[in-house]
Copies of this chain bind each other. A is one copy, B any other.
Amino acid sequence: MRWQAHTSLTSISDLDREDIDRLMALAGQMAGARAPAINTLAGRIVATLFYEVSTRTRLSFESAALRLGGHVISVADAATSSVAKGETLADTVRMVSGYADAIVLRHPEAGAARAAADALDGRVPVINGGDGAGEHPTQAMTDAFTLHQHFGRLDGLTVTFVGDLRYGRTVHSLMALLDHYELRAVQLVAPDGLEAPAGGILGGARVERIDSLADAAASTDVLYMTRIQHERLPAGSSAPAALQVDRAVLDALPAESLILHPLPRRDELPPLVDEDPRAIYFRQAANGVPMRMALLTHAIG
């Protein structure tokens, strides 16, 4: 167990396999539970401090805290508030640490969550709710929980990552998480210029780059789709066309596979995919609540 109670979670690397397995089991207990039954956060206050607007991550953390009997204070758009008076991130989180028992931080710069945790020096845990093109560890935990719910395991899966693998932080965190397991194969399908930074071996399997999404689909257990992060492309560069799940991809995908997406989605998942029983991305989004209930319970419960 690497992640100690009452400490920060800024990266998937703060977790070892035992942490991940235990948190997935705890999330399983939280799923479907109602607040009156579980009060691990009674009297505790969670601050959501978002320098980038994100309804999904913010609302799922707030829902999780409330369902555990906790309270929430929120800055939904910090970029237009205290920063307007020129305050540093370190000063802002020191201030918020006086008002809350945990801080969920979303920030446009990679490394911001780590810097915030360092500034607080352990007084209040910081949970990374996404730091630029860096990491999004609680999303990766939600993704892993979704896979575990369905397959009963993470070992032995063939995972295909599709889309913006360069700037997509959820991919970075999920890859780091899966490296604790024994995968059967890892396939990457990315448009030119948006390839993943690293290659090599992941989860004991050789990482393979594939040009055609339909070709990759045939042997896939987990099709992990992502949108192109237009807001993180260098200024002036034009975005490549999104790789799209179409009828041919659906036909090629095995019956027992799953289609995930951290959402929001654009063209990469046209509406016809929603009707497919393998499309699990809305359940995946809802799983953010029990997983974040588990994470908050560990962090400050």
Contacts and interface: CB of A to CB of B under 8 A. Distances in A.
Contact of A96 (B36, B59, B95, B264): B59
A99 B287 CA distance: 9
A264 B45 contact: no
Interface residues of A, number: 52
A99 B43 contact: no
Number of copies: 3
Interface in A271-300: 282, 285-289
A240 B266 CA distance: 42
Given A43-B35, A99-B60, A264 B78 contact: no
A101 to B, nearest CB: 9
B55 A282 contact: no
A194 B20 CA distance: 57
Contacts of A59: 47, 73, 75, 95-96, 99-100
A92 interface: yes
Interface string A170-195: 00000000000000000000000000
A166 interface: no
Contacts of A85: 227, 231, 264
A91 interface: yes
Interface string A73-91: 1011110111011110001
Contacts of A100: 59, 63
A231 B81 CA distance: 13
A95 B289 contact: no
A94 interface: yes
A148 interface: no
A5 interface: no
Interface of A: 34-36, 42-43, 45, 47, 53-56, 59-60, 62-63, 66-67, 71-73, 75-78, 80-82, 84-87, 91-92, 94-100, 227, 231, 263-266, 282, 285-289
Nearest 4 CB-CB pairings of A with B: A98-B286, A87-B264, A63-B99, A66-B71
